[in-house]
Amino acid sequence: MIRTKIAGIGKYLPSNVVTNNDLTKYMDTSDEWIQERTGIKERRYATKHKETTTTMGAHAAKEAIERAGITKDDIDFIVFATISPDYYFPGCGVLVQRELGITKNEVGALDVRNQCSGFVYGLEVCDQFIKTGKYKNILFVCSEMHSMGLDFRTEGRGVSVIFGDGAAAMVLQPTEKEGQGVLTTHVHSNGTHAEELALINPGSHGGYHLGTEQFGYPDPDKYGGVFVTQKMVDDHLLAPNMNGKLVFKNAVTKFPEVIKEALSTTGLISSEIDLFIPHQANLRISQFVQKRLGLSDDQVYNNIQKFGNTTAASIPIAMCEAWEEGKIKDGDLICVAAFGSGFTWGSGLIRW
């Protein structure tokens, strides 16, 4: 039976460390306030005008390709997950292809836009391509540069203190080794509360779902299709918004559900998990899920304290770091899970 194995993994974190105390220069907050609510102590910010989502992803990809023991010319498909692309379009898939010089064979490049669940969704896509025999060396990149689009006023602190920049990548290949590879993936979504964790503007909705004037769009019958307006700029409507309480409530419910779904599918139990790597959304969420599943501290890996929430990149960054630290070994059962905007959520079990 063909399964998907992680043949090589790499990560990239910008060198610029931003502590909670650094953020007090821009907003009314404190180290204590941030740590109490999120568990975050610091995060990384990329260097403006020198680093982008694509360039960070390329750094991680080079490391993953080298560790897989292949060359860039062996890559036959690219999948790129991000919510902070360099451009509105085209997506980062073709940009990282150009950055790495993977243009000789003109392989396909696919962009995944599932926010915090981007890694799990992207893994499921890659897994299907590998299992069907379509591709042999998929480059899967997850990269985020949130620092360029946050509201650093006090009014935006509920979102801005959470996010950081970073990237990770992996080379995925087929394996017929008994028990190795991706055992199962499960993805779900429910768009009922789509606007409760979202970056509304700029967009093509023109205020249709939300009330035109409230979100900065003028009357379309008078002004036509205006993509960005002065009101959006003046009222700080070009940054993410989040209903934190609603997100937390749903996350702590869906996380355990989708993990149990994966365990049930494979006939495994939580005590058999060697390492649970949750999406690094909030340390309080991770601790709540850990308790619900009855996992010990040794069975859970968190690094949000150092890097903040890097959305799609958070699971693979943590996975790479754990592997480098020797906390992931051959034969280990790895559980991953994520919840985020959409709402979307998912889980996966991987035998290393």
CA diameter of the chain:
65
Query: CB within 8 A of 224, min separation 6: which ones?
Result: none
336-to-107, 117, 270, 295, 346 alpha-carbon distances in Å: 28, 10, 12, 14, 8
Tokens 């900065």 identify what position? 216
CA distance 314 to 147: 15
Active site residues: 116, 279, 309
**236 three-class SS:** coil
Which tokens in the block code for residue 326? 């020797």
Contact 255, 315 (CB under 8 A): no
Query: In 132-275, which residue ranges form alpha helices assigned H by DSSP?
Result: 157-160, 220-223, 230-234, 244-266
Query: What phi and psi, each to the nearest 5 degrees, are found at residue 112?
Result: -110, 125
Contact 110, 200 (CB under 8 A): no
